[in-house]
Chain A
């Protein structure tokens, strides 16, 4: 019976619900804009990671190394693009 029970998925489900609750708290509690946004961004990234690993089975096939490498590459490109755009469009004018 133990082998049949999807413990990992159930735990993941509970964990992602928990993350949703934490994200929701931004709306219900009075906090600064920076604080709220930080919570949202952090929970969003963890949430995406949970979905990818637990529910989209990213780490369960033989080519998991490739899958993780491509994901990290994609995230890195996205972050670099956003930071670079901010640098070119806003921060560059301030420094």
Chain B
């Protein structure tokens, strides 16, 4: 029994924990039973689990991201419920620590990252007129590694206990001395595994965008989302290795008794904070740049004008990418490095507001004198501009190092970063999802229900986070599981809780909208339901496997618009056989071995680690000798598909 004891959860008598164990078990059984009952295993395996199609991988990323959104969202509501009234005892301190840690990790790594990578997967090859990404098999592996990491992290909740040192996981708190149980091991391995997947995505997409653009599409003729994806992946390739190494050093510290981040024996505990933010600040821009790209597409489409200041948009993103590597110390101004260092990083931080401001003005000037259509994606984009600006302005407040001594570690900071991430990233991803929904599934989401969700989410967002600015300035510290009545934080925290509920209602309405539209929405939306401008709308809805029957010839920033209005001849040539990559179960099997490897490593079960490692090596050897020449889709087959859509494109 000693062996099994290590898998138990550190004792805290919480019926909710057991309830969730039962819930996870029941849901898993229900899924397995459902798939078996409807005889869908073959379909699932052949069409989704083994796919290398960038569109399906993108959709799987987005589905996982939405699942994680609800997982992290449930954590958020629990936290707001706990702090809604003074001296609440809904969660105890330990449980609260685990909940806010999980919320942060899940939302950043497994929700936001997955959402943007899913969007890039779906949209980028279509926007550049490619058949798939440069390395389709690697792309599938990226997704499954991410998924393995996400599942490993979620297992922590019921086996062994969740990490509880915050999503920033600072040492020495995260070291073995203060965090004895396996939670932080889970953090290290889950992020390590999904981080490898992200790094592969970065390389894959740089190669795709640099090498696989349609003939005639110069770099400066790429749609803005593809530009943002290129810059984002460049940042990924430079930033993620730092996280990989920092996590490895943390693992060595915790599991092999080294002294990188310990306080004694020559260790340097603040080195973790340094390395974490060397990765962590570029990460912020990894998240927000694709969001900017999506807003650029949506705002241009629904203002019915070309994007204002294309070149300055590109230039500002390049400058942001460089500056993003020069500001990380502003996350720990109060660590004690003195006024000179703080001043330097304070100035670089404020400098980022300049290129970002350029982008804001470009969006405003795109809308200026445009014929604006207030569809749901456009409403999210319009709401984004003022809300994100408020987040940006409070960011500049926090960037002042001396003033930061007042704000740091308070709810003011929490309000600030939610204020940039929610309107910046989450709104963009929802807007993008609604915008590209017809491209993915061939029908549109209901606009009326969508607008209900929009108002719930926007009002809910304002109600939950604006009060935190006030309580934060009044001195409410973040990550405190309760507070006294005399502090006076009670009423505003209650408002915040209601805001969180409204947000939750908004997301539930989105899910209902998917269900409603799936049942009732008309399927004859045509290929261009939004009257859009860029190349991805030049193919059919939903997109056929090979994307474009004829490779497009591009000679314009807004290829599809010029094709529609100005006689730009997009599809020269004729239909030929198309070469496509084969599906393969290799990626999911390899990622499965990684999951087992990570799981056993967390618990120091070396036999399991060795077996899983041999499995990984075996998969790599198999791949080295595998012959996979792909397959051809024949001309007749393509013509048949195209005729079904009403003519070749």
Whether, in the assembled complex, B340 has its beta carbon less than 8 Å from a beta carbon of chain A, the answer is: yes
As a 0/1 sequence over residues 324 to 343 of chain B, the CB contacts with chain A under 8 angstroms (1 = contact) are: 01101100100111101110
Q: Name which residue of chain B comes closest to A85, CB basis.
A: B274
As a 0/1 sequence over residues 78 to 95 of chain A, the CB contacts with chain B under 8 angstroms (1 = contact) are: 001100110111011101
* Min CB–CB distance B171 → chain A (angstroms): 14
Which residues from B are CB-within-8-Å of A73? 234, 322
**Which A56-95 residues sit within 8 Å CB-CB of chain B?**
63, 66, 70, 73-74, 76-77, 80-81, 84-85, 87-89, 91-93, 95
Q: How many CB-defined contacts (below 8 Å) exist between A and B?
A: 50
* Min CB–CB distance A57 → chain B (angstroms): 17
Partner of A84, one of B234, B329, B342: B329
Report whether over half of chain B's contact residues are helix, strand or loop; otherwise say mixed: helix
Report whether over half of chain A's contact residues are helix, strand or loop; otherwise say mixed: helix
Partner of B278, one of A70, A74, A81, A93: A81
Which residues from B are CB-within-8-Å of A87? 329, 337, 341, 344
Q: What size tier do the contact residues of chain B reach? A: 20 to 34
Given A74-B238, A85-B274, A85-B278: A92 in contact with B337 (beta carbons within 8 A)? yes
Which residues from A are CB-within-8-Å of B238? 74, 77
Determine whether the beta carbon of A89 is less than 8 Å from that of B338: no
Which residues from A are CB-within-8-Å of B341? 87-88, 91-92, 95
In the bound complex, CA of A95 to CA of B326 (Å): 20
Determine whether the beta carbon of B325 is less than 8 Å from that of A88: no
* Min CB–CB distance B343 → chain A (angstroms): 10
As a 0/1 sequence over residues 526 to 569 of chain B, the CB contacts with chain A under 8 angstroms (1 = contact) are: 00000000000000000000000000000000000000000000
Given A88-B274, A93-B337: A66 in contact with B210 (beta carbons within 8 A)? yes
Q: Name which residue of chain A comes closest to B211, CB basis.
A: A63
In the bound complex, CA of A73 to CA of B336 (Å): 30
Given A89-B274, A92-B341, A93-B338: A80 in contact with B326 (beta carbons within 8 A)? yes
Which residues from A are CB-within-8-Å of B340? 92, 95
As a 0/1 sequence over residues 25 to 65 of chain A, the CB contacts with chain B under 8 angstroms (1 = contact) are: 00000000000000000000000000000000000000100
Determine whether the beta carbon of B268 is less than 8 Å from that of A84: no
* Min CB–CB distance B276 → chain A (angstroms): 12
Determine whether the beta carbon of B338 is less than 8 Å from that of A92: yes
**Which A11-35 residues sit within 8 Å CB-CB of chain B?**
none
Determine whether the beta carbon of B336 is less than 8 Å from that of A93: yes
Whether, in the assembled complex, B271 has its beta carbon less than 8 Å from a beta carbon of chain A, the answer is: yes
Given A74-B238, A77-B238, A95-B340: A89 in contact with B325 (beta carbons within 8 A)? no
Whether, in the assembled complex, B505 has its beta carbon less than 8 Å from a beta carbon of chain A, the answer is: no
Offer 14 A-B interface pairs, CB within 8 angstroms, sorted by A. Answer: A73-B234, A81-B278, A84-B326, A85-B274, A87-B341, A87-B344, A88-B274, A88-B329, A88-B335, A89-B270, A91-B341, A92-B338, A92-B342, A95-B340
